[in-house]
Structure 1
Amino acid sequence: MSETYAAADKAEKLGTTLMIKGKIAKYIDRFAINLGEGPKKVGLHFNPRYDQSTIVLNSFDGEWGKEVVVDHLNFHRGSEITVIMTFDSDGFKVTLPDLHQVTFPNRLGLSQVSYLGVSDGFSITSMKFD
């Protein structure tokens, strides 16, 4: 699975919310949305895994950290979803389409996020910073 990467046109600073709306491919086992400083320094790896019926959260800085497994995969392949990601002093808060929230610590001590990476199992239709 390849991944497309882009530097955000404005860095997400502490307290910033990123609303991502997109379409999940119909025939995938998993996709990922990554936030960080670049593909080799990812503060939040958001990885729904349909083949395991879970969502995995992790970080990457030369190597993967310990996975945090969330048993709340409530959106389906082929659907359009909105995921809200807030970056604050405690870390990352992810609001899922049913408004369930999961949190992940800022393991890398990032003060801003200037990078967004999305796997090809998910295509962004719109993004909004608040």
Structure 2
Amino acid sequence: MSENKMEIHHMDLKTGMTLKLKGKIDDDASGFAINLGSGPGDLALHFNPRLEENVIVCNSQNGGSWEKEHRDDHMCFRPGMEIKLTVTFEEDEFQVKLPDGHHVKFPNRGRYSHLPYCCVKGGIRVTSFKLE
């Protein structure tokens, strides 16, 4: 299985902004993850579609410790497909708009107002990355 990784350490994502991501899921992908936070061990949002389990897991990580998982069984991702998704960063929550228009909402547990760190990894190749 392939493992791709794109990491940004000095991103300027603030509340009210949207991250737009395009990519292609690998043909042999079992899943991928989009992590947003202040650093690799402090994640405000861990967005993790698990293709083999047919579930999207969202979580946050504080000081390297995972918190309570949120699971959404609305799975619209498939190996080999090209995707577009947006992550809107609000004061109280993240709204992830999936390629089919479904929204997954996850609370901004740490009340973050600025997120400098982003990591996209797993069975996906990022083709476009934009902050608005």
Q: So what's the TM-score if we normalise by structure 2? A: 0.92
8 Å CA contact 1:6–1:115 kept in 2: the answer is yes
Give 1:78 shift: 0.8
Give deviations 1:40-68, integer Å, cap 9, x for gaps. 11100000001110100000112111110
Distance 1:4 1:113 in 2: 16
Indicate the residue corresponding to 1:17 in structure 2: 18
The aligned counterpart of 1:125 is 127
Deviation at 1:113, TM superposition (A): 1.0
TM-score scaled to structure 1, two decimals?
A: 0.93
Identity of aligned residues (%): 44
The aligned counterpart of 1:58 is: 59
Q: Secondary structure at the match of 1:93?
A: strand
Q: Could you tell me how far apart the structure 2 residues matched to 1:92 and 1:111 are?
A: 12
1:118 shift after superposition: 1.1
Aligned counterparts, 1:23-42, within 5 A: 23-42=24-43
Give the drift of 1:3. 4.3
> Deviation at 1:120?
3.3
Please say if 1:115 is aligned against 2:117: yes
Unaligned runs of 5+ in 1: none
- Aligned pairs for 1:71-110 within 5 A: 71-110=73-112
Specify the SS of the correspondent of 2:59: strand
Q: 1:40 to 1:2 in 2, by over 3 A?
A: farther
Measured against aligned partners, the alpha-carbon deviations of 1:90-126 in whole angstroms (never above 9, x if no partner) come to 2110000011111100112211111110113111100
Please name the residue that 1:48 is paired with: 49
State the shift of 1:75 in Å: 1.9
TM-aligned CA deviation for residue 4 of structure 1: 4.0
Q: Distance in 2 between matches of 1:64 and 1:52?
A: 19
Counterpart-to-counterpart distance in 2, 1:36 and 1:73 = 24
Q: Which digits, 9 at most, give the CA deviation of each residue in 1:15-54, with x for residues without a partner?
A: 0001000111111211101011111111000000011101
User: Would you say how many aligned residue pairs link Structure 1 and Structure 2?
Assistant: 129
Aligned-CA RMSD value: 1.4
